[in-house]
Structure 1
Amino acid sequence: MSVPPAPGAQRPGGRTARVREAVLQAAGDALAADGFEALDLADIARRADVGKTTVYRRWGSSGALAADLLADMAEQSLPRTDTGSLRTDLRANARLVVKTLADPRQSRLFKALIAASLCNDQAAQALHRFYAVRIEEWAGCVRDAATRGEVPAGTDPHAVVAAVSAPLYYALLNTGRPLTDADADRAAAAAAAAAQAGVWARQEADGS
């Protein structure tokens, strides 16, 4: 599963789009710096140089703001790679995850958003949607691999893609050591090998 670039990249749009962009950039900065518990709408309005009333009217709560930030990140996510090989497609996915999670701001931001999802229902639902969108985007590489005969028919594409990023997020949250491209390559190779061995192939009921 790929992880998107930092939110707030310049995009065309009117005043409403510019306000959203400024507020979400400020929210991302605040989350990365101080975590979800310190996220305050009045402070975000000040940081973004936007009227406090506008921020409260549009977002209403810290949970809703974090949810919109995740939606924005999904909107800006890069499309999947198509190299013609499952192993190299998954390696590109894993390296993109590592590149993002190795970035100081982005790693802190994702930790804050994951923490927010544990204590706020809006943030939790938004995080689930975010990962569902990103996994579906990359699931195409597994479907293509099945068409080419690289993996068994019926291989669950979402399970394969999730298996690539799972050890990388585990390392981010539990080991504290810097992630490297070697970590990415191992995660991708393990997921590809498991998929080719039929680990995630759906089995038809045989009555046994």
Structure 2
Amino acid sequence: MTVGTIRPGGRTARVRAAVLEAAADALVEGGFDRLDLADVARRAGAGKTTVYRRWGTAAGLVADLLADMAEQSSPRTDLGSLLEDLRANARLVQRTLTDPRQGALFRAVIVAAAGDARAAEALHRFYAVRIAEWSSCVDDAVARGELPGGTDGAEVIRAVSAPLYYRLMISKEPIDEAAADRAAEAATAAARAGVFVRSAGAVE
């Protein structure tokens, strides 16, 4: 996933890509508290009026940045095995969080979401998209008979990434491939044991 990649779509798309790239740079350098739309406009070579009119606030800019990141995220794999699919998911998260730019960007966005409702909603939407895409590998595993019926795919995917985000934001321990593989293996074992089977009457 590369934030701010310019895609076809004319001048409006090019301006959006430049502004989002500049916003990502500013977040990495100074965090959400120092994110300033005028500075972003300057970095992007865009008019301040255009930036203020389209995004309005720093939270609005973060929301659109997250939407763009969701659009550009790598698609899920289909390796024919739950463990291999979850390992691929964990390693994708691991590579993202250990990338100097992407890891810093996610830390900044998570901090922003902790104190701003609009940023929090945008972050929730971002992960909802990614979890929905990857949870289909759990549905496939149920169909193959690898997992019990009623297994909640979203909960399985959350269980894979949660230990890696804990390392990013709380413990600051290394986020290496070994940690990613352990997270995938633990989630697979728990899913096979029925830990993530929805209880009767559970709401989707």
Equivalent position to 1:43, from 25, 39, 44: 39
Q: Which 4+ stretches in 1 moved above 6 angstroms?
A: none
Q: Deviation string for 1:8-54 (max 9, x for gaps)?
A: 12311110000000000000011011100000000000000000000
Distance 1:69 1:51 in 2: 18
Identity of aligned residues (%): 65
Equivalent position to 1:154, from 135, 150, 153: 150
Q: Does 1:10 align with 2:12?
A: no
Q: Which stretch has the larger CA shift, 26-35 or 176-185?
A: 176-185
Q: Which residue of 2 aligns with 1:21?
A: 17
Q: Does 1:77 align with 2:73?
A: yes
Task: Please report the RMSD computed on the Cα atoms of aligned residues, expressed in angstroms.
Answer: 0.9
Q: Which residue of 2 aligns with 1:117?
A: 113
Structure with higher RCO (Cα < 8 A, 6+ apart):
1
What one-letter code is carried by the residue in structure 2 that aligns with 1:154?
A: G
Q: Deviation string for 1:67-118 (max 9, x for gaps)?
A: 0000000000111000000000000000000001001111110010000001
Distance 1:31 1:136 in 2: 27
Go from structure 1 to structure 2 and tell me whether the alpha carbon gap of 1:124 and 1:203 turns closer, same or farther (over 3 Å shift).
closer
What one-letter code is carried by the residue in structure 2 that aligns with 1:163?
A: A
| Structure 1 segments unaligned to the other structure (5+ residues) | none
Q: Does 1:185 align with 2:184?
A: no
Equivalent position to 1:102, from 76, 98, 122: 98
Q: How far has the Cα of 1:178 moved from its partner?
A: 2.6
| Structure 2 segments unaligned to the other structure (5+ residues) | none
Distance 2:45 2:173 in 1: 37
Q: Does 1:58 align with 2:35?
A: no
Equivalent position to 1:134, from 119, 130, 134: 130
Maintained 8 Å contact 2:150/2:198 = yes
Q: Deviation string for 1:145-170 (max 9, x for gaps)?
A: 00001010000000000000000000
What one-letter code is carried by the residue in structure 2 that aligns with 1:161?
A: I
Q: Does 1:197 align with 2:190?
A: no
Distance 2:151 2:174 in 1: 32
